[in-house]
Structures are given as C-alpha cells and as structure tokens.
Amino acid sequence: MVRQLQKSVTPPPDLYMSVNGINTRYWQMGERGSTIILLHGGNGSIEFWLYNIANLAKHHCVYAIDMVGSGKSDCPDGSYSLGYQAEFLHGAMAALAIDTATLIGNSMGGGIAIEFTRLYPDRVAKLVLVDSMGFGREISLGIRLITLPTIVSLLRPGRWMIPAMLRSNFYNGQQLPPEWMELRYPIFALPDRHRVILKMGQSNFNLAGVLPQVYQPILDSLANITQRTLIIWGAQDRIIPVKHAYIAAASLPNSQLQIFPNCGHHPYLEYPAKFDRLVLEFLAS
C-alpha cells in the first residue's frame, strides 16, 4: 500500500436522509460537474471512500451512501439481494433528487451498480466497476463461510479483528492506515451486524460461491449495457479473481480495463491518487 495513505484525512460530516422510511447515512462533497455515487462493498461503509471523495469532488458532485443494512444506515428485514439493494439505491436517488449519475461500485457495490443499470438504464450515465461481483461464481472462502450461522456468530467486535479480517483484502495489509482502522472499528462493532451479515451472505452466496441466480442474469445482460464502463481490478485480488475482470471487459460492449499490479481487492484504497486520476480522466473523456 502506498505511503500517501499515512497522511491524515478529515472525513466529511455525516448527513442523513430517509429512503422509503430507512434512515440512511451519506457523505456529500462538490457542487459542479456531473453527479457521482460511490457504492461500497458488502457490509462496508462510506469510510471506504475516505481517500477519494475530496479529490473527485474537485470536479464533480459526489455522494457516498451507506447502503441499506450497512454502516450507520438502518438494518430492516429484507432479502439483501442485489435487486433489493438496487431498489434502495433508486429510492436514495429519489430522496436526493438525482436524475442520472455515474455509479462507482466496489465488490458487491459493483454488482448493485450493474443490477441498477439493468433495471433503470436511463438513470445511469457511466459505470466504474472496481473488483466487482457479478461476473462468475468464484469468490473467496471467507465470503462463502458467512452463509453459515455458526461462523457468523463467532465474529466478535474486537479491535484486533479489523486488521486480521481485512489483511486478505489488500496486497499489503500490514500497511493499513491506523486512522482508517480507527474509523472502521465503530462501524464494525455496531449491534445487529450478525443478522445482516448472515442475511446478505445467504441472499447472494452459498458454500460453492456466488449463487447462479445472482450472477447468471448479470452475465446474460452485459451485452445490452451500453453505458461507457471503466473496469478497474487489483491483479492480486484474493476475494474475486482477476479473471473476472477479463470476462467483464469481453462482455461489456463499451468498456475499458485497467489492472493495478501489486494490488488487492480495494485499488481505490491502496492507490488512491492513481485511481482518482483514472476515474477523472474517464469522466472527462
């Protein structure tokens, strides 16, 4: 991970809105240019975009949203399928009076972005898919295990668990910024976490990997997604294999691919300056 992450960054203020009755936390920065919505991965939070939002907001109006059941947003009963979360995103855009936006999604957030584009193609200007779910069955053992109630019940919110759990997500997890881990710990330790993790896991995965009924409709629809799409992937991603990046690039008709060497599942965290530059160039082109 690059040294620039050691520089202290002040998070934007937390804002809240109601999305179909769901109390939802978000960040907003920037007032000019096109609209960007940042979508974190499963059981993530807006803190994952800490090192990107200010740079992107110099040229665009940027929102980062705690998706339903994640971060400090409410955790209602629901399927937590990609479709359920895409409908939540539709409600969030309505609450924020956003007509169209570029969606930037990592991991499950990428799967939500694709599902939303399938459902509401006229609401999506462009796509940026970052180590995205949806291009095949393969996914890490750790993700597959969160479909088991016994395994999820063993998750205990100790501070020592943050680096231990996240290490496999990064090329060099030993260099996770302490300030970022301190921001993530209160989110990780929130009550009701186990129920949502299990529901989200069982809605999308089983012990064999991503459920066919989750990824196959996405694969079948990719040829019809005409939005310009930037695909970014870490070459050493241990969560979703890099071969999925090539499947995405071959299947999306208007896409371009960037592989980050020496990088894991979160290129925007490991190489924020490089990531932001690529995204801004893509949006400006």
Q: What is the mean pLDDT of residues 24-35?
A: 96
Give 273-279's long-range contacts (Cβ < 8 A, gap of 24+).
273/2, 273/4, 273/55, 275/52, 275/130, 275/232, 276/52, 276/55, 276/56, 278/230, 278/232, 279/56, 279/104, 279/128, 279/230
Phi, psi (degrees; rounded to nearest 5) at 62: -115, 130
Place 1 in a pLDDT band, splitting at 50, 70 and 90: very low
- What average pLDDT is seen over the chain? 92
Q: Note the pLDDT tens digit of each residue in 244-259.
A: 999 999 999 999 999 9
Q: Note the pLDDT tens digit of each residue in 96-151.
A: 999 999 999 999 999 999 999 999 999 999 999 999 999 999 999 989 998 998 88
Q: What is the mean pLDDT of residues 88-98?
A: 98
For residue 157, is pLDDT > 90? no
For residue 233, is pLDDT > 80? yes
**Range of the structural domain that residue 86 is part of:** 3-284
Tally of domains within the chain: 1
Place 160 in a pLDDT band, splitting at 50, 70 and 90: low
Question: Looking at per-residue confidence, does 158 or 54 come out higher?
Answer: 54
For residue 169, is pLDDT > 60? yes
Q: What is the pTM of this model?
A: 0.94
Question: Looking at per-residue confidence, does 190 or 92 come out higher?
Answer: 92
What's the CA gap between 156 and 282, in Å, rounded?
Answer: 41
Q: Cα separations (Å) of 19 from 97, 103, 211, 215, 236?
A: 12, 18, 28, 26, 36
Q: Find the CATH number of the domain harbouring 98.
A: 3.40.50.1820
For residue 210, is pLDDT > 50? yes
pLDDT for the residue 215: 97
pLDDT for the residue 131: 98
pLDDT for the residue 156: 67
